[in-house]
Amino acid sequence: MKLLLATLASLLVAFVLGQTCPPGNQVCNDRTTGPRCYSPTTHQCCENRLLCGKNDGCCGNICYNPVNYCCVNSALVAKANCPNPTPSPPPAPSPPPVPSPPSTPCTRCGPNDRCCPDARLGPTCYNPSTHDCCENRLLCAAGSRCCGNACYDPSRYTCTNGAVTALPSNPAPPPPPPQQPQFCCDSYACGEKIYCPTGMSCCLTRPVWGEYIGGYCYNPSNSTCSYCPVYNPNHPQTTICPLSTPTCCAEGCTNIQCCHHYGTYDSFSCANSTICCGFDNGNHQCCDSATQMCQNDICVPKA
227-268 per-position pLDDT tens digit:
776 555 555 577 888 998 888 877 778 887 777 665 555 677
The mean pLDDT value for 75-88 works out to 76
**121: three-class secondary structure by DSSP:** coil
The answer to whether residue 133 is domain-embedded is: no
Note down the domain range covering 210: 191-301
196-225 per-position pLDDT tens digit: 888 888 887 765 555 556 677 889 999 998
Q: In whole angstroms, what is the distance from residue 276 CA to residue 177 CA? A: 54
The answer to whether residue 252 is domain-embedded is: yes
pLDDT at residue 3, as a whole number: 47
126-179 per-position pLDDT tens digit: 888 889 999 998 889 999 999 988 899 998 888 988 899 888 765 566 777 666
User: Has this prediction a pTM greater than 0.75?
Assistant: no
Mean pLDDT of the chain: 77
**Percent helix / strand / coil, the chain, rounded to 5:** 5, 40, 55
Residue 9 C-beta-side C-alpha neighbours within 13 Å: 10
Q: How many structural domains comprise the chain?
A: 1
Nearest by Cα to 165 from 176, 154, 174: 154
The answer to whether residue 199 is domain-embedded is: yes
Using pLDDT thresholds of 50, 70 and 90, give the confidence band for residue 18: low
Using pLDDT thresholds of 50, 70 and 90, give the confidence band for residue 101: very low
21-25, 104-108, 136-140, 143-147 — which is least confidently predicted? 104-108
Provide the 10 A C-beta neighbour count for residue 173.
Answer: 16
Nearest by Cα to 88 from 68, 64, 62: 68
Q: In whole angstroms, what is the distance from residue 174 CA to residue 180 CA? A: 18
Alpha-carbon distances of 161 from 48, 132, 164, 183, 290, rounded to whole Å: 28, 22, 8, 38, 80
The answer to whether residue 14 is domain-embedded is: no
The answer to whether residue 179 is domain-embedded is: no
On the question of pLDDT at 87 being above 80, the answer is no
On the question of pLDDT at 58 being above 50, the answer is yes
On the question of pLDDT at 17 being above 80, the answer is no
pLDDT at residue 282, as a whole number: 60
The answer to whether residue 33 is domain-embedded is: no
Classify strands 238-242 and 223-227 as parallel, antiparallel or unpaired.
Answer: antiparallel
Higher pLDDT, 46 or 281: 46
On the question of pLDDT at 45 being above 90, the answer is yes
The mean pLDDT value for 13-24 works out to 63
The answer to whether residue 230 is domain-embedded is: yes
Query: DSSP code of 181?
Result: P
The answer to whether residue 8 is domain-embedded is: no
